[in-house]
Amino acid sequence: MIIRKAIITAAGPNQRALPLQSLVDRDGTEKTALQIILEEVIAAGAEEIAVIIGRGDHQSYAQAAGEYADRIHFVEQHQPRGYGHALGLARSFTRAEPFLHLVSDHLYISKHAQRCAQQVVERAKAEKCSVSAVQATRENMLPYYGTVGGRRATQQNHLYEIERVLEKPTPSEAEQKLIVPGLRAGHYLCFFGIHVFTPEVMDLLHEAVSRQSSGDGIQLSPILDQLAARQRYLALEVQGRRYNIGVKFGILLAQLALALDGQDRESVLAQLVELLANRSLP
């Protein structure tokens, strides 16, 4: 399997401004969140990149992409018709090829020599099927993520055969349909925001769009649930952490994670200790 293309979705009404935010990366350089995400997909081997944006966002995103702007194919979603619809707009871009897909409201810190997206790409190449990154997540976070159920792959500690996919399930739904043997009690495998998909995902999305009326939203998780029923589909526990910059204090936590993983770690730690010490004074 050859993976040359990547798609980043950034058209969600509550998501559009997040990739434009500035942070200080691990190398001490100020970058937009979009630039950090673009570097993630480029390090994973992506040669061509499509970014799905909202109507009228081209100029702000081209500016936020900085030196990478010339490498991007911008695709506008004219109406907010859902995550699945946005991804499906890139069908002509992927041209029946497998592709890497990242959301634009997550940043990643790898615990491995390989970056997070690269870990998923390498596993997809080895297994020759769709692979979604997942992270064991407490049940109180289920309202924020698509979640998978299945079973651990034979002799593979961090790999799972996906059997079901549900979008933001309730704890009761997850307990009934998404239990994965071997996980800690109260934890479920939630999407990490990084996927490698075979072309069948685009075909399923195209079929869904053809069936729906123009005002209906199309989500990705039901499509992936169909994919799991049709072909081998794996979940990989990536050696790293995701940071959702779209939740309360998300940008702050992502910035702290980048700083503590970077070249200015000692300075940041010293300032945090000083801040905490000052807060404890009468």
Domains of the chain, CATH where assigned: 5-280 (3.90.550.10)
Residue 133: CB partners within 8 Å, gap ≥ 6? 116, 119, 120, 191, 192, 193, 194, 195, 235, 236, 237, 238
pLDDT for residue 277: 84
What is the CA angle 6-81-32, rounded to 5?
45
Low-confidence ranges of the chain (pLDDT < 50): none
pTM of the model: 0.94
pLDDT for residue 211: 85
pLDDT for residue 15: 87
Handedness of CA 200, 201, 202, 208 (dihedral sign): positive
